[in-house]
Amino acid sequence: MAFTYFFRDLQTLNAVRDHALPVMKTKGYINIWDAGCASGQEPYSLSMILNESMGQMLFQKVRILATDIDESNLFAGMIREGIYLREQVQRIPKEVFERYFAEEESSGKYRLNKEIRASVHFLKHDLLSLSPPEKGFGLVACKNVLLHFTEQQRIAVLKMFHDALAEDGFLVMEQTQKLPEELQELFQPLLSNARLYQKK
Ligand SMILES: C[S@@+](CC[C@H](N)C(=O)[O-])C[C@H]1O[C@@H](n2cnc3c(N)ncnc32)[C@H](O)[C@@H]1O
């Protein structure tokens, strides 16, 4: 299983909430691609963060397509069902945990609520196919994935993200991931403390 955890790099997730969400809200739908989602903690965290900052009506317009190449991460039924083990949820802040998770009949397993589960859809997808699963995303989140690729592959995948984004769409990566020089024509950096970009 790939390394990941709930609310990893909260500063970047909050940057999405504060800088990308207000723009996405005006579009009538909030369509996100989480590329390289591993065992689901990242798309579910994003969903909880968005849920905290919008009303129920608007939240129904949130759709997160969570993709990964690794079926062992993705297709474990537990993840699609939003079920995690105690050790996977114990670092979540108490208030958030209590709001969104419930224990499955004293089993030591905890399940996300229906609203959060309904907002995330999982799909197997290889980024190196260079063919996006859909187009017109308001946000592409790709964190801790591109570092495994060569510079050439990174450039090709980032061009695919550009193509998959709607006009004014956003791209977010991990703090240590730099945008290659030759792609500076495609994405506008928005912040100095998070790798959040807007499609030019
Ligand atoms: C370290 S995890 C990152 C999980 C999450 N994004 C995070 O930051 O916590 C990297 C993930 O990238 C996925 N991955 C690696 N190569 C990929 C590819 N070619 N296409 C799609 N996913 C890939 C791996 O299967 C793994 O689940």
What's 166's domain CATH number?
3.40.50.150
Pocket test for ligand 1, best of 46, 145, 148, 176 (most atoms within 8 A of CB): 145
Residue 5 inside a domain? The answer is: no
Tell the residue nearest (CA) to atom 10 of ligand 1: 145
Residue 17 inside a domain? The answer is: yes
Residue 1 inside a domain? The answer is: no
Tally the domains of the chain.
Answer: 1
3-state secondary structure 143-180: CCCHHHCCHHHHHHHHHHHHHHEEEEEEEEECCCCCCC
What is the domain range of residue 81?
10-199
The finding on whether 73 has its CB within 6 A of some atom of ligand 1 is: yes
Q: In the predicted model, what is the mean pLDDT of residues 30-42?
A: 96
63 Cα to the center of ligand 1, angstroms: 20
The number of the ligand 1 atom at minimal distance from the alpha carbon of 70 is 25
Residue 4 inside a domain? The answer is: no
| Residue-level pLDDT at 74 | 61
Residue 130 inside a domain? The answer is: yes
Residue 3 inside a domain? The answer is: no
Q: In the predicted model, what is the mean pLDDT of residues 141-146?
A: 98
Q: What is the pLDDT of residues 69-114, one digit of tens each?
A: 997 766 567 898 999 999 999 999 999 999 999 999 888 899 999 9
| Residue-level pLDDT at 105 | 86
For residues 109-125, one letter each, b for 16 or more C-beta atoms within 10 angstroms of the residue's C-beta and e for the rest, the string is bbbbeeebbebbebeeb
User: Is the pLDDT at 132 greater than 80, yes or no?
Assistant: yes
User: How many angstroms separate the CA atoms of 155 and 158, rounded?
Assistant: 5
Residue 185 inside a domain? The answer is: yes
| Residue-level pLDDT at 75 | 57
Residue 2 inside a domain? The answer is: no
Q: What is the CA 85 to chain-centroid distance, rounded?
A: 21
The finding on whether 147 has its CB within 6 A of some atom of ligand 1 is: no
The finding on whether 46 has its CB within 6 A of some atom of ligand 1 is: no
The finding on whether 128 has its CB within 6 A of some atom of ligand 1 is: yes
Tell the residue nearest (CA) to atom 9 of ligand 1: 4
Tell the residue nearest (CA) to atom 25 of ligand 1: 70
21 Cα to the center of ligand 1, angstroms: 24
Tell me the percentage of the chain whose pLDDT exceeds 90.
90
More confident residue, 130 or 108: 130
